[in-house]
């Protein structure tokens, strides 16, 4: 019976097609109604979704297949059996609006199109794993530099460069530059004369980082190197008889000879004037361990063990210890034999010393918010910005309160006070090292806020003792030759201030945190920000390159106790409680071997009995180059 029905259907269809067009035949036999069933129109899709449609047959027609379309183009292959659907990987489509339809084909080849469905594709962008590119463009590799120079770099990224941090010998120089053209100011007088490596670290918003190839420059700021032999009167050895003179039978020595001792406690001392010194000694198979101290500071252990046998060809003296960044002036270096060794002997050899003279007359700029500057009383000084005048570093401090003081402590031979002369500026007195005060009238014709008004040197003194700490005190008198008595302190320029440190803020990338640290703001903090934690075990670690470091903190009534370590060696606990709010150097390690170091601060969760809580605050770090 079924065969007879199909035969009849085929006969009727053939007869109809013999005298009419396919469209007319289809119309007489029925139609196909196609409806999109998924996804819903107006929906948002992502990833892989199922696109489906239903087909309703009206009359005698049959469905040959359904072809889905995306924006008019075929989506997958035709589906020839119900239920009709196709899998759509939306990640191959752009984010935004797209149109889906379904086209059903009957046995005569005629097509019936569904209603259209509009969807919004919203796929998360793929993770950015491409690091930026960066290269130093100035100065050129091999260049000789002096004074303050500008270091520049080119950086690019597939998404965008978030910032470029410049470095000298691995230590950050200035703040990260977040906008092209990327540059930083480098005061070369802050490092020793000689070879140094410049680099730049570019990062993108995803945290990808790239460090540029290093550019080597030679810093030459006029400091000549003088060789001082071991028999120079500037070198003294004790006790008598503990040191033996050695010659060419041992090694090749500067000047032909050197002093040697393996007696524990024996010392060799050099008194010199300069900003850097190198001990020229010997590394050999019977050489031992010594300690070296500068100006009575903490001793540094120096192991002079080496593979060379005494008397072997080619064995020669070499630098075994170097320290730089010393204040210009007189210093004392002491080498002490320990009697200990990692070889078969404990001999310490002193051949000569290379002393670098002062770095010339280049000045170091110290801003008003540097730790070397203190203002009193609290509240007497107000921070001013560009609305007043063009200031060095963008801001300055101002006071018209009689008796208010601003004090700079520095090491150098000359200093200039960078202030403001204006129509409402008044009279101050300036004294150096407690000497007689000099009256300085800062009155000037420029009106506050007028175009072109800028800070300038208002007082300078030179001829100060080299290598000595000095104090400059500015005192507001409250008197005036104008309509106001304001005294403005913008910055100071210190000449030969080799001991001036580089400031790293709590938010600098060189500082890393573990545990529950938060960043807060306070106008009294350096750059206005600080980091704080009160949970035991929280740590803040500062990575730096230099010969000294100071942790600048904020002391208060609710502060606790922290543990401090340098290069993994525990240095002690620090109580940061104070009966009132204070800015202070919480910890200092001023004599470190030149090179890379880490300072770690750990919250203990304990406190002084007088404190109300256990907070530990990090304001900034100062690094001596």
Answer yes or no: is 536 within a domain.
yes
pLDDT-derived band of residue 190, with 50, 70 and 90 as boundaries?
A: low
For the segment 457-483, the average pLDDT, to the nearest whole number, is 81
Q: Per-residue pLDDT for 13 more than 70?
A: no
Q: Which domain holds residue 198?
A: 133-219
Q: How far, in Å, CA of 506 to CA of 599, rounded?
A: 13
Q: Are 544 and 171 in contact (CB under 8 A)?
A: yes
My answer on whether 389 and 452 are in the same domain is: yes
- Per-residue pLDDT at 361: 41
My answer on whether 234 and 112 are in the same domain is: no
- Last residue of some domain: 96, 121, 146? 121
pLDDT-derived band of residue 262, with 50, 70 and 90 as boundaries?
A: very high
For the segment 17-32, the average pLDDT, to the nearest whole number, is 56
For residue 139, say if its preceding peptide bond is cis, omega within 30 degrees of 0. Answer: yes
The mean pLDDT of the chain is 85
My answer on whether 375 and 316 are in the same domain is: no
Q: Are 249 and 256 in contact (CB under 8 A)?
A: no
pLDDT tens digits along 313-370: 888 898 889 887 676 667 889 999 999 888 788 999 999 998 776 544 445 678 888 7
Both tokens of residue 312? 């072997």
Please give the residue that has the higher pLDDT: either 193 or 360: 193
My answer on whether 313 and 268 are in the same domain is: yes
We report the CATH number of the domain holding residue 48 as 2.60.40.10
CA dist list (Å): 532 to 277, 330, 369, 600, 601: 39, 40, 21, 14, 11
Residues 6+ apart with CB under 8 A from 305: 283, 284, 285, 287, 288, 289, 341, 342, 343
Answer yes or no: is 117 within a domain.
yes
- Per-residue pLDDT at 462: 66
- Last residue of some domain: 480, 495, 510? 495
Answer yes or no: is 128 within a domain.
no
For residue 377, say if its preceding peptide bond is cis, omega within 30 degrees of 0. Answer: yes
Q: Are 518 and 616 in contact (CB under 8 A)?
A: no
My answer on whether 275 and 322 are in the same domain is: yes
pLDDT-derived band of residue 10, with 50, 70 and 90 as boundaries?
A: very low
My answer on whether 207 and 172 are in the same domain is: yes
pLDDT tens digits along 426-450: 999 999 988 888 888 999 888 998 8
pLDDT-derived band of residue 587, with 50, 70 and 90 as boundaries?
A: confident
Q: Per-residue pLDDT for 563 more than 60?
A: yes
- Per-residue pLDDT at 617: 93
Residues 6+ apart with CB under 8 A from 450: none
Q: Are 588 and 624 in contact (CB under 8 A)?
A: no
Answer yes or no: is 432 within a domain.
yes
My answer on whether 145 and 251 are in the same domain is: no
My answer on whether 202 and 322 are in the same domain is: no
My answer on whether 368 and 491 are in the same domain is: yes
DSSP state of 157: -
Of the given ranges (371-385, 487-501, 532-546, 571-585), which has the lowest mean pLDDT?
487-501
My answer on whether 232 and 347 are in the same domain is: yes
- Last residue of some domain: 464, 495, 526? 495
**Cα angle for residues 398, 403, 409 (degrees, 5° grid):** 70
For the segment 32-48, the average pLDDT, to the nearest whole number, is 94
Answer yes or no: is 127 within a domain.
no
Per-range mean pLDDT, top range of 158-162, 351-355, 575-579: 158-162
- Per-residue pLDDT at 344: 83
Q: How far, in Å, CA of 619 to CA of 551, rounded?
A: 8
Considering the entire predicted model, what is its pTM? 0.31
pLDDT tens digits along 215-247: 988 877 655 567 888 887 778 899 989 999 999
- Per-residue pLDDT at 466: 59
My answer on whether 451 and 562 are in the same domain is: no
**Distance separating the N- and C-terminal Cα atoms of the chain:** 104
Answer yes or no: is 126 within a domain.
no
For the segment 476-500, the average pLDDT, to the nearest whole number, is 79
pLDDT tens digits along 101-151: 999 998 888 899 999 999 999 998 888 889 999 999 999 888 878 767 889
Residue among 161, 162, 136 nearest 150 (CA) = 136
Answer yes or no: is 554 within a domain.
yes
Per-range mean pLDDT, top range of 205-209, 367-371, 546-550: 205-209
In the chain, how many domains are there? 5
We report the CATH number of the domain holding residue 599 as 2.60.120.260
pLDDT-derived band of residue 20, with 50, 70 and 90 as boundaries?
A: very low
My answer on whether 97 and 159 are in the same domain is: no
Per-range mean pLDDT, top range of 15-24, 72-81, 146-155, 540-549: 72-81
Answer yes or no: is 239 within a domain.
yes
Q: Are 621 and 551 in contact (CB under 8 A)?
A: yes
Of the given ranges (68-82, 136-150, 159-173, 457-471), which has the lowest mean pLDDT?
457-471
């Amino acid at each position: 019976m079924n065969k007879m029905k199909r035969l009849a259907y085929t006969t009727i269809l053939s007869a109809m097609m013999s005298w009419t067009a396919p469209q007319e035949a289809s119309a007489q036999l029925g139609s196909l109604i196609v409806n999109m069933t998924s996804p819903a129109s107006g929906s948002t899709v992502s990833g892989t979704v199922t696109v489906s449609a239903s087909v309703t047959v009206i009359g005698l027609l049959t469905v040959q297949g359904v072809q889905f379309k995306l924006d008019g183009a075929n989506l997958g292959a035709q589906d020839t059996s119900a239920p009709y659907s196709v899998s759509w990987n939306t990640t191959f489509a752009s984010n935004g609006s797209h149109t889906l339809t379904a086209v059903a084909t009957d046995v005569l080849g005629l097509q019936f199109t569904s209603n259209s469905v509009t969807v919004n594709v919203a796929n998360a962008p793929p993770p950015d794993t491409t690091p930026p590119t960066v290269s130093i463009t100035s100065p050129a590799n091999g260049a000789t530099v002096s004074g303050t120079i500008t270091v520049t770099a080119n950086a690019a990224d597939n998404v965008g460069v978030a910032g470029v941090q410049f470095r000298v010998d691995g230590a950050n120089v200035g703040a990260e530059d977040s906008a092209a053209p990327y540059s930083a100011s480098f005061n070369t007088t802050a490092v020793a004369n000689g070879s140094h490596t410049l680099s730049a670290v570019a990062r993108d918003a995803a945290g990808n980082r790239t460090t540029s190839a290093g550019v080597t420059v030679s810093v030459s700021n006029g400091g000549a190197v003088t060789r001082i032999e071991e028999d120079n009167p500037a070198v003294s050895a004790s006790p008598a008889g503990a040191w033996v003179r050695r010659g060419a039978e041992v090694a090749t020595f500067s000047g032909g000879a050197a002093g040697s001792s393996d007696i524990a406690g024996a010392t060799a001392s050099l008194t010199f004037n300069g900003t850097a010194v190198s001990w020229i000694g010997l590394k050999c198979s019977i050489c031992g361990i010594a300690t070296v101290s500068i100006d009575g500071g903490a001793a540094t252990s120096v192991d002079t063990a080496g593979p060379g046998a005494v008397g072997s060809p080619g064995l020669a003296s070499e630098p075994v210890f170097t320290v730089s960044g010393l204040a210009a002036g007189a210093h004392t270096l002491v080498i002490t034999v320990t009697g200990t060794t990692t070889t078969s002997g404990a001999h310490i050899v002193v051949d000569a010393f290379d002393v670098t003279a002062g770095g010339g007359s280049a000045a170091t700029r110290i801003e008003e918010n540097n730790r070397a500057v203190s203002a009193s009383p609290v509240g007497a000084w107000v921070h001013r910005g560009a609305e007043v005048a063009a200031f060095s570093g963008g801001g300055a401090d101002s006071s018209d309160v009689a008796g208010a003081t601003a004090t700079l402590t520095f090491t150098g031979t000359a200093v200039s006070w960078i202030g403001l002369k204006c129509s409402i500026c008044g009279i101050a007195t300036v004294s150096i090292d407690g000497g007689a005060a000099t009256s300085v009238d800062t009155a000037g014709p420029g009106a506050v806020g007028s175009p072109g008004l800028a800070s300038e040197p208002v007082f300078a003194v030179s001829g100060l003792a080299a290598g000595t700490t000095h104090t400059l005190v500015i005192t507001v008198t409250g008197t005036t030759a104008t309509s106001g008595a304001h005294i403005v302190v913008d910055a100071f320029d210190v000449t030969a201030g080799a001991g001036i440190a580089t400031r790293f803020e709590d938010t600098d990338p060189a500082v890393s945190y573990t545990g529950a640290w938060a960043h807060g703001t306070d106008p009294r903090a350096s750059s206005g920000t600080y980091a704080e934690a009160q949970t035991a075990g929280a740590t803040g670690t500062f990575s730096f390159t230099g010969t000294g470091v100071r942790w600048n903190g904020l002391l208060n009534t609710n502060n606790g106790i922290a543990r401090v370590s340098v290069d993994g060696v525990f240095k002690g606990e620090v109580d940061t409680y104070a009966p009132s709010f204070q800015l202070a150097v919480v910890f200092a390690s001023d004599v470190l071997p030149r090179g890379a170091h880490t300072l770690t601060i750990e919250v203990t969760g304990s406190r002084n009995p007088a404190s109300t809580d256990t907070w530990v605050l990090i304001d900034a770090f100062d690094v001596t180059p």
